[in-house]
Copies of this chain bind each other. A is one copy, B any other.
Amino acid sequence: MAQVEFWYEFASSYSYPATMRVEALAADRGVGLVWRPFLLGPLFAGQGWRDSPFNLFPVKGRYMWRDLERICGALGLPLRRPESFPQNSLLAARVALALEDALRPAFSRAVYRAEFGQGQPIDAPATLRPLLAEIGVAPDPLLARAVEDANKAALKAQTARAVALGLPGAPCLTTADGEVFWGNDRLEQGLDWARVHDPVAE
């Protein structure tokens, strides 16, 4: 079974529809997914940006919000622009990484729904606790584990790998043969590529 890595950042607007779509698209194609939450901050810093490019370049920002409205409208996804953008996604990313693999997709979707569907602040433990409870995880022990050194280091390492892979933003799919597909609008193409170039199937 071909496998791709799905790279997403909780502060990233286009990661919202991608996260809601990717699992069904992968299942349709018989491609396995490895969920990789990471932080865009170090990538952006490497390009000289200390804020989201959607804030630094307002023409792009205005376009992005309207584009996202159309995308969410077509998918039937609620969209409520968070009061501040981008949100501080550090805690949510640490929590996502601290979870066991099988729970990461459902938690990640719940974070995006809270953030971009309901406009909630995702840096607040009060937002994340009920999302953890919903997937059957006791919130406080997990929140404690999320900020342990080992988990912090794991998120740093995962982000360093995203930089090393040359990801230009989020979301991205990366394939076993080294391809990068950037954007919600490249999910289908990346999954199709992985299926066709699957080293096991060949």
Contact = CB atoms under 8 A, between A and B. Distances in A.
Contact of A59 (B46, B66, B70, B193): B46
A168 B67 CA distance: 12
B66 A180 contact: yes
Q: Please classify the interface of chain A as helix (H, G, I), strand (E, B), loop, or mixed, using the class held by over half of its residues.
A: helix
Given A66-B180, A180-B66, A59 B168 contact: yes
A80 interface: no
A62 B166 contact: yes
Contacts of A62: 166, 168
Interface residues of A, number: 24
A32 B178 CA distance: 40
A49 to B, nearest CB: 9
B47 A166 contact: no
Contact of A57 (B47, B70, B179): B47
B43 A180 contact: no
Contact of A60 (B60, B168, B186): B168
Interface string A179-202: 110110110010001000000000
Interface of A: 43, 46-48, 57, 59-60, 62-63, 66-67, 70, 166-169, 179-180, 182-183, 185-186, 189, 193
